[in-house]
Amino acid sequence: MKNSLILFLISLVFTSCTSTKKAFVKGADIGWLPQMEATGYTFYDQDGTEKECLQLLKDRGMNSVRLRVWVNPNTDKASGHCSKEETVAMALRAQKMGMRVMINFHYSDSWADPAKQYKPKAWETHSFPELLNDVYNHTYDVISALKAAGVTPEWVQIGNEIPGGMLWPEGSTNNWKQLGQLLNKGYEATKAVDKNIKVIVHVDEGNNNTKFRTFFDNATAQNVKYDIIGLSYYPYWIKKDYTETIADLEFNLNDMVKRYNKDVMIVEVGGEDDKVQNTYELLKATIEAVKKVPNNRGLGVMYWEPQGAKSWSGYSLSAWQNDGKPSPALDAFKEN
């Protein structure tokens, strides 16, 4: 009887552990989707039937979406929108489709990336203490609006591709003390809304271990608070095939976990839309590299704007064909 009870309790613990383990993240950044639909873009399945874009992504194995949010964006088709209100509406729509949600704060009125981290116009004349309040209040406001609408994002990203910092010049990596305070304000605002939301800090060139060590060593020195290291991986932008850099990505993923004791996730990846087989293989290799991180600390992979067809966006690293159908390259998500 005693042994039976012990076995029963062990099985309960095992069931509890396995049931709480989250599924591997396979997703897409889809910030352009509402604009695409508003301008009349139509999505089709491989058999030519018109279908809702999120359903097409789900059919290819995707279970998550990533949504950027800008402070006071304009109405430009490709470089605007993504306001708080639009982000809430899109997050609610994705959740109703059974998808998990990541919110990506750029802290700008338009694109923020390694080449540019411009302050929102409304914050341009603010002192550094005011900028700290701006980051906290904007982050808290957006996540609170999401929660009020019934969507609690699983992840929140504080800054977009910030190897050189954000909110320049005050938050540049030339002044790590201030950057650390800004990042912590984003973290604190997120956790004030819901302590279970995981906070991501995101750097580009996921195959560049030196860049990541430099950034996250400084973050550690400034006691920056975060839960997950987010990486971009675009062989195209460094003019190398993925076969030349995938081993470096794999090394860096493992090194980040060991060095900083953080989970890791590829929050942006993409390949050339006219090189379908190569992009398929890139995605398959990237997914495998993340899955191989020990102890399930590699959380997942997200494609950046797969549905953002070049015919609409001019962006050549989407994964959508000119006929409005998803690229077969996305089958890598379904098969893995």
Number of H helices, E strands in the chain: 11, 8
Catalytic residue among 86, 161, 205, 250: 161
Q: Which residues contact 322 (CB under 8 A, 6 or more apart)?
A: 309, 310, 311
Residue 268 appears among annotated catalytic residues: yes
Catalytic site includes residue 161: yes
**3-state secondary structure (DSSP) of residue 263:** strand
Which residues are paired to 69 by β-bridges? 105
Residues 246, 252, 256, CA angle at the centre, nearest 5°?
Answer: 150
- DSSP state letter for 236: G
Which of 43-48's residues contact partners 24+ apart within 8 Å by CB, and which partners? Answer: 43/307, 43/324, 43/325, 44/323, 44/324, 44/325, 45/325, 45/326, 46/325, 46/326, 48/325
Degrees (nearest 5) of the Cα angle 187, 258, 234?
A: 70
Residue 253, C-beta contacts closer than 8 angstroms, at least 6 positions apart: 206, 231, 264, 289, 290, 293, 298
DSSP-assigned states of every residue in 97-124: TT-EEEEEE--SSS--BTTB-PPPGGGT
The SS3 of residue 322 is coil
Of the listed 205, 268, 281, 305, which one is catalytic? 268
Give me 38's structure tokens. Answer: 């508003």
- List the catalytic residues: 161, 268
